[in-house]
Amino acid sequence: MDLSNLKAPIPNKKGRKRVGRGQGSGRGEQSGRGHNGQKSRSGYKQRAWFEGGQMPLQRRLPKFGFSNINRKEYRVINLHTISEFIEAEKLDKTITIDSLVKAGLANSDDKIKLLARGDIKHKIEIEVHAASKSATEKVEEAGGSITLV
């Protein structure tokens, strides 16, 4: 078999719909567009959200919510994650923001917040942007300290 023997499959031979070619074609007179109205005219275009002059759905529904422009976004890290990384020797007992970035727990432009989920048995010195009260208590109970940057 070579390229000279190829033939198009049967469905590909179907011609386009030729409208406006007389009554006998079945698509004469109004050419399948019905009688009068906006959709029967040439140049008709309709947006997907247009509802025929009725008030559109996106304008009928109320707006809600509030976006605080002064919101601070933090990358949260829990104590159990830090203890797992220390046991896996991916972090030392002295933890800086750079060491958290190198370990893959945060990006270089993230602000980091320490949260208290889990327990920590290691005496660590950690440097973060923010920490919850309970996380601070747990770290200090283990004999460590938290430095806020």
63-111, pLDDT tens digit by residue? 989 999 999 999 999 999 999 999 999 999 899 999 999 999 999 999 9
Res 16: pLDDT: 86
User: Average pLDDT for residues 13-35, to the nearest whole number?
Assistant: 87
Q: φ, ψ for residue 60 (rounded to 5)?
A: -80, -30
Where do the domains of the chain lie?
75-148
**Residue burial 75-86, b: 16+ Cβ < 10 Å; e: rest:** eebbbebbbebb
Beta bridge partners of 125: 94, 145
Res 86: pLDDT: 92
User: What confidence tier does 125 reach under pLDDT thresholds 50, 70, 90?
Assistant: very high
What average pLDDT is seen over the chain?
A: 90
User: What confidence tier does 7 reach under pLDDT thresholds 50, 70, 90?
Assistant: confident
Helices within 9-132 (DSSP H only): 57-60, 79-87, 97-103
User: What confidence tier does 139 reach under pLDDT thresholds 50, 70, 90?
Assistant: very high
> E strand or H helix at 135, and its extent?
helix 133-141
Res 2: pLDDT: 87
89 and 107 Cβ atoms separated by less than 8 Å? no
The owner of tokens 């019905």 is 34
Torsion of CA 126, 128, 134, 137, to 10 degrees: 30
114/77 Cα distance (integer angstroms): 5
Which CATH code fits 75-148? 3.100.10.10
Helix (H, G, I), strand (E, B) or coil at 83: helix
User: Average pLDDT for residues 119-144, to the nearest whole number?
Assistant: 93
Beta bridge partners of 145: 125
The owner of tokens 């009554």 is 23
